[in-house]
Amino acid sequence: MGNSISFFVISGDKTDDIYEGYRHLTGVAHLLPKTAYGYIQSKCIYPTQKQLMEVASGYRDRKLPLDILVVDFLNFRIEGNMDLDRRRWPHPAAMNRELGRMGIRTMISVWPHVATDSRYYQMLKGKGWFIQKADGSPDQSWWGNDFGPDIDPTNPEAAEWFWSVIRDNYIHKYGFSYIWLDETEPDIDPEHDFYSIGGGNRYFNVYPLFETGAVYNGFRRDFGDSRRVLILARAAYLGAQRHGTVFWSSDIMDTWDMLRRSVTAGLNFTASGMPCWCTDIGGYARRPIHAYYRPERKPLVSPNGAADEVGAYSDYPELYVRWFQWGVFQPVMRSHGERRYNEVWSYGREATPILEKYLRFRYQLLPYTYSLAYRTYRTGAPYMRALWMDFPHDPNIANISDEYMFGPAFLVAPVTVQGATSREVYLPSGCDWYNFWTNERLHGGQTIKVNAPIEIIPIFVRAGSIVPLGSAILNTSQPQKVASLRVYPGADADFDLYADDGETYQYETGKCTITHLHWDEKSRKLNQTATARALLDETVVDVIQAASDR
């Protein structure tokens, strides 16, 4: 008899039933540390400790929210030494302590390559812990000796060693909180290579599952329930969502076309069962811009004050603003790219106040977003949702890939055309919708033209929604009150407002607070469960009055 093949059929009456089945089959998407749902500031690269601290001070001096700073790759002297270049990072432990006092955590990039002249190479080669070619030698990959071959995480001993050096060198010794596992593909063609579990032609794409699993499993074993795992990874595989992972859009170009295509890519990815996704806000790789370049339309954001940053790419501040606005409505909001500067004040005098507005808006939405993340943990269903997930009976949504639902309330329609000050938005049938910015109430089942000046991303709220909004904070470790509960009438509404300590896994044993909110359309009253009765006593309930109907 040949190899047997097993088939699993997941069925259900609703889209989310399918994701619940996928969750049971492949694993839960754990809650990330609450810091991950704030804002992550990154750049390729912050080369020194001094520069990283200046960025942190820049956010705090401006009283802007920030939770995580990223130390990208090339932070070492030799790839695979699993250590920092101490000439550029002289006091990393003290740096992380100071950042912690500022309410900022750090994430460090760790690659699975080991250069041939690194301190671990001979030991790893001798034990056979690299991905190997048919002749048993390590596959050096296209990087060559300077970066070397990839560790084989399918070998349990190699996986344990990989985690142990990350733990000892970066977490215990220096105090980094989170790990960026870049190059999780890996960057070789494994078809003719061999893992410890077998040939790459059979186990072609499993690398990210095993590599993220090495870190997650070791982290949970060694730190118990006291600290949540956060791993940023570029590649994914079935089940990798259970490893405290966020996946991102890879090394995309900084163009308008890429912004447009990234919306669709994000919806496709989250629909695949991997709910935690983000993009490199602004794009990663720099587009070559010649001195004679002219945008198609007059830029909506002047590059004045950002000449050193954008050069001849005069419409780039506009692009960055539009990308940043969209980033507010992604599961994780993270900016990154090959730019000289990449902070919210880096893109000129006109862009800065808009970017600051949306950065604060991200934190205002935290009670809503964090509750969505818990819902995903419980159900497996994503909260960045293609329209077909929620409106399967509306035939008009079948080919719409440039707008989507962010949780049960928000319809998000990013602007992805340079110079555009309006766009068409289809409002799915079966309910009414409120323009978030104007409170105009509109009927579903129609396409409308929406005003979208540069300071506005079109967003709509479904009638029959409850949206909790939080008080202003600078980071997620600060107490945040629910400042208001916005009720969008038109139908009965329910929302489970979730809260926990934001740091540990104690939510897995029920140590959390869930306040069920219910809007009764007939009586026009908002009620809640008795678990946190003081919420409605202390919170402004804002029942939206429609500006008009059409």
What is the structure's pLDDT at 186? Answer: 84
For residue 103, give every residue at least 6 positions away whose Cβ sits within 8 Å of its Cβ, in sequence order, or none: 67, 474, 475, 477, 478
Are 416 and 351 within one domain? no
Identify the domain boundary among 372, 403, 438. 372
Span 104-118, pLDDT tens digits = 999 999 999 999 999
Question: For residue 189, what pLDDT band results from cuts at 50, 70 and 90?
Answer: confident
CATH code, 247: 3.20.20.80
Mean pLDDT of the 521-532 span:
86
CATH code, 477: 2.60.40.1180
The strand order across the sheet containing 540-543 reads 465-470, 482-488, 540-543
What is the structure's pLDDT at 29? Answer: 98
Are 293 and 438 within one domain? no
Structural domain range at position 484: 465-543
Say how many domains are in the chain: 3
Q: What percent of the chain has pLDDT over 70?
A: 97
- pTM for the model stands at 0.97
Residue 359 has pLDDT above 60, yes or no: yes
Identify the domain boundary among 427, 462, 497. 462
Q: Between helices 92-101 and 49-61, what is the axis angle to 10°?
A: 10
Mean pLDDT of the 469-478 span:
98
What is the structure's pLDDT at 1? Answer: 43
Are 270 and 345 within one domain? yes
**Known catalytic residue at 185:** yes
What is the structure's pLDDT at 3? Answer: 62
Question: For residue 549, what pLDDT band results from cuts at 50, 70 and 90?
Answer: low
Span 365-396, pLDDT tens digits = 999 999 999 999 999 999 999 999 999 999 99
Pick the more confident residue, 220 or 5.
220
**Known catalytic residue at 72:** no
Catalytic residue among 185, 193, 280, 350: 185
Catalytic residue among 251, 338, 356, 440: 251
Are 315 and 329 within one domain? yes
Evaluate whether residue 379 is within a structural domain. Answer: no
Mean pLDDT of the 492-517 span:
96
Evaluate whether residue 7 is within a structural domain. Answer: no
Are 349 and 453 within one domain? no
* Long-range contacts (CB closer than 8 Å, 24 or more residues apart) made by 438-446: 438/547, 439/544, 439/545, 439/546, 439/547, 440/546, 440/547, 440/548, 440/550, 441/490, 441/546, 441/547, 441/548, 441/549, 442/549, 442/550, 443/549, 443/550, 445/394, 445/396
Mean pLDDT of the 496-501 span:
96
Whether 291 and 280 have beta carbons less than 8 Å apart is answered as: no
Q: Where is average pLDDT lowest: 136-145, 333-342, 420-429?
A: 136-145
Residue 531 has pLDDT above 70, yes or no: no
Span 155-177, pLDDT tens digits = 999 999 999 999 999 999 999 99
Are 165 and 239 within one domain? yes
Evaluate whether residue 436 is within a structural domain. Answer: yes
What is the structure's pLDDT at 34? Answer: 98
Q: In this structure, is the dihedral angle defined by the CA atoms of residues 217, 223, 224 and 228, taken in order, positive or negative?
A: negative
Are 324 and 291 within one domain? yes
Identify the domain boundary among 412, 432, 462. 462
Evaluate whether residue 21 is within a structural domain. Answer: no
Evaluate whether residue 15 is within a structural domain. Answer: no
Residue 548 has pLDDT above 80, yes or no: no
Evaluate whether residue 11 is within a structural domain. Answer: no
Mean pLDDT of the 217-246 span:
97
Are 352 and 490 within one domain? no
What is the structure's pLDDT at 538? Answer: 79
Residue 532 has pLDDT above 90, yes or no: no
Evaluate whether residue 194 is within a structural domain. Answer: yes
Catalytic residue among 182, 318, 343, 403: 182
What is the structure's pLDDT at 4? Answer: 66
Evaluate whether residue 481 is within a structural domain. Answer: yes
Are 456 and 504 within one domain? no
Are 394 and 340 within one domain? no
Taking Cα atoms as reference points, which of 217, 281, 273, 207 lies closest to residue 244? 217
Are 493 and 401 within one domain? no
Q: What percent of the chain has pLDDT over 90?
A: 91
What is the structure's pLDDT at 143? Answer: 78
Are 419 and 539 within one domain? no
Residue 8 has pLDDT above 80, yes or no: no
**Known catalytic residue at 67:** no
Residue carrying the six token digits 């790759």 = 73
DSSP state of 378: H
